[in-house]
Every structure is written in structure tokens, then in C-alpha cells.
Amino acid sequence: MKFRFALAALATTAMGLAIAQTPAPTPASAAPATPAVEIPPPPKPTATAWVLMDHITGQVLAGENYTQRVEPASITKVMTSYVLAAEQKNGKIKPDDQVMMSERAWREGGAGTDGSYSGFAVNKTAPLIDMEKGMAVQSGNDAAIALAEHAAGSQEAFASLMNNYAAQIGMKGSHFVNAHGLSAPEHYSTAYDLALLGRAFIRDYPEQYAYNKIKEFTVGAITQPNRNLLLWRDASVDGIKTGHHSAAGYCLMSSAKRGDQRLIAVVMGSTSEKQRADDSLALLNWGFRFYETHRLYEPGKAIATQRVWKGKAKEVQLGVAQPMLVSVPRGRYDDLKPTMDVPKTLVAPIAAGQAIGTVKVTLDGKVVAESPLVAITAIEEAGFFKRLWDAFWMWWESE
């Protein structure tokens, strides 16, 4: 296929490359050629704003009004979950922490309110991990507030953490003022930002993300089901979160994984619980039907071999540290074009895993996949006379 031939010539066409030896950049598992198909328009949700995003690349496959400011409702709790997961990774809080269900959390988010609740007893504690599940599965506003207070001292302080992490993720159109998502001035997001959040949550904290596929959760004598209807309709769906209040309408951030391919759909301002589920599944099915994911490179396998100066070995093998995958319209695999960008001169010592350059794959001139190139093996520095000899030839070739 054309793509395999392009890959075979990858090292010799690399930008800034002095000498490349014995390139070996054949894809890790080349899929059989798929005939190109004409992609029809996506199904259009009955919603204010929506987007379908490829998880691997972050590419928007379809969408409408997805940068428009909307109220995120309880999808806000995905941001809360992300912050809690990050704070656990940083050692600030722990899964077995005892979290107090404060009177404020109970009054603002408990059973006496109009919103969803988990049912943890007021002025009593429960393990942090249980409250996380109560928030993720039951969409408990009470659990969200209690967790925010535990992690940051107050919900207001926790909202600052939410905004800090949102900025790191790249959510430029979002601002949070609470942990639960009930309507409030200056509490907003966009469908695109929420898809970015879902992508980051799946990638960065898969253990906490997995709470969102739990179908029901029990607190005391109360068992409540997950409100994401897609968990019962399609086995490939494993999240993420529903949302609803009068100002936001019915919202759903969903994700499904089929083989190596994962998609994220966000539907905001739908007309009913059933409609948001129907529209989300239609979008996911459309994306899986007309786009495909290919695994190009595996970690530890050489993409190219590059000349090294002043080293005990003359060459270093370059590869990727993580599996490199790409999602493209079906039938366009052979149109992918790879390039490699490495420094003109490599000088030992080089550590195993050291970043050396970048491999990029483009389609129609647009980068669809990019990964750092790293040294597969270490190259130790040579002795004095070898270094002196190489220094002479480096000078000679630079003239």
C-alpha cells in the first residue's frame, strides 16, 4: 500500500536529518485496505449544542454550536471527579479518607432539595471512595459538596481548583463556581470543553473513570440506578455522565470503545432523558461506522536508526514510548503521510528513553497523529580518541 511505501522512506525524508540508517517504520499491525466510502452527514441531535470527538486525536468528527456557552448541569461532576482524582494522585487526599457529610452539603444537596442526592447521613462520615461513587453513579449533589469541602475546605475554594485544572486541560470556554452543577451565575462550559474534559479523564485517571459505568449504587437502605441509559443499551458504552435542570435541559456526555477506537459524544440541551440517549448513541454509531483507528507503532520497536557521534556505538534505534494510533475516515489509510523530525546531529551519551525528535502523520496536509521519538537503547560515550576523531569529522561535514 502507498502508506507502507511512504513509511519505508520515512527516515530519508525527515526534516533536519543528516544521516538515517536502515529505517524500519512499518506499522505495528497493518490493517487490510478498506475501500473509501463517502461519509454522509451525521445524525443531527435535538439539542442546543453537541459534538462528537475522537478520543485518540481530539479531532472533532461532527458538531454544532459546540463552542457556544451552555450550563453544564451535573456533567459538572466530571470536573469534580477529575480534580479529586488529581488531588489523590498528588497525595493530598486518599480513597479511605473519612469524609463528613456537613449540614451545608446535606441542606444544599440532600434529599430535601429538588436535585439528585446520594443519601449519606448528615453529620456522619463515609469513605471518600464511597462518596465518589455516590456522586458518579447517583449524581449526588450532597456527595459533590461534601467531597469539595473535604478536598479544599469549602466548595468555593474547590471551585478555584476546578478552574485551575480546567485551564490545564485546555477548557478555554469554561468557568465553574460549584462542584455539583446546579444553575448559578458564571457557571458555564461548552460542549467542546466538556468533550476535552471527558478525554482527559479517561486518559489520566482510568480507575476513577470506571466508576461511571457502575449501573447502580447503594447508600444505606437506598439503591439508585445510574441515569445513563446507554449503559443498558450498548455494551461498548462505559460512561460518562448525565445532567439535567430546567435551565440546562437534558444533557449527556457519553463514551464508547470498540476495539482500539474510542469516541466521546456530548449532547447539551436535549428535550428528554430518552432523546439525549437516542441522539448520543446515533452519533457514536455514525462515528464508528465511518471512521476507523489504526495502530501504527508499538513501543520498543525501531522506526528508524540514526547516526550517533562520539559514542561507543555508531547508531541509535528510534521508536515511540507509547503505542501510536491514528483515526481516519474509512478507506483513507493509504493516504496518510508520515514525516520524522530529528536533530541534524546526535552526540553521545544518549539515555534509553531520551526524547530525540518527533514523528508526525498527516492526512490532506493536516496532522492527525504525533508522537515523540525516543532512543530505544542507551548509547554510552566513547573513549577520548574516538571522541576526538568524531569531532574532526563533525567539523569537516559542517563546512
For 89, the domain range is: 49-291
Instruction: With respect to residue 35, please indicate whether it lies within any of the assigned structural domains.
Output: no
Active-site pick, 81, 116, 118, 139? 139
Instruction: With respect to residue 232, please indicate whether it lies within any of the assigned structural domains.
Output: yes
Q: Which residues pair with 375 in a beta bridge?
A: 318
Active-site pick, 77, 133, 241, 310? 77
| Residue pair 390/309 in contact by the 8 Å Cβ criterion | yes
Active-site pick, 74, 81, 116, 371? 74
- What the block records as the C-alpha cell of 117 is 442526592
Of 237, 266, 291, at which residue does a domain stop?
291
Hey, is 245 helix, strand or coil? strand
Of 291, 326, 359, at which residue does a domain stop?
291
Q: Which residues pair with 150 in a beta bridge?
A: none
Instruction: With respect to residue 359, please indicate whether it lies within any of the assigned structural domains.
Output: yes
53 with 22, same domain?
no
251 with 313, same domain?
no
Decide if 81 is catalytic.
Answer: no
221 with 195, same domain?
yes
183 with 55, same domain?
yes
167 with 189, same domain?
yes
58 with 78, same domain?
yes
Instruction: With respect to residue 22, please indicate whether it lies within any of the assigned structural domains.
Output: yes
137 with 281, same domain?
yes
Decide if 183 is catalytic.
Answer: no
Decide if 74 is catalytic.
Answer: yes
How many angstroms separate the CA atoms of 143 and 203, rounded? 24
118 with 204, same domain?
yes
Query: Per-residue confidence of the chain (399 residues) as pLDDT tens digits?
Result: 334 433 433 433 333 443 343 333 344 444 455 666 788 999 999 999 999 999 988 989 999 999 999 999 999 999 999 999 999 999 999 999 999 999 999 999 877 676 789 999 999 999 999 999 999 999 999 999 999 999 999 999 999 999 999 999 999 999 999 999 999 999 999 999 999 999 999 999 999 999 999 999 999 988 999 999 999 999 999 999 999 999 999 999 999 999 989 999 999 999 999 999 999 999 999 999 999 999 899 999 998 889 999 999 999 999 999 999 998 999 999 999 999 999 989 999 999 999 999 999 999 998 988 999 999 999 999 899 888 998 988 888 776
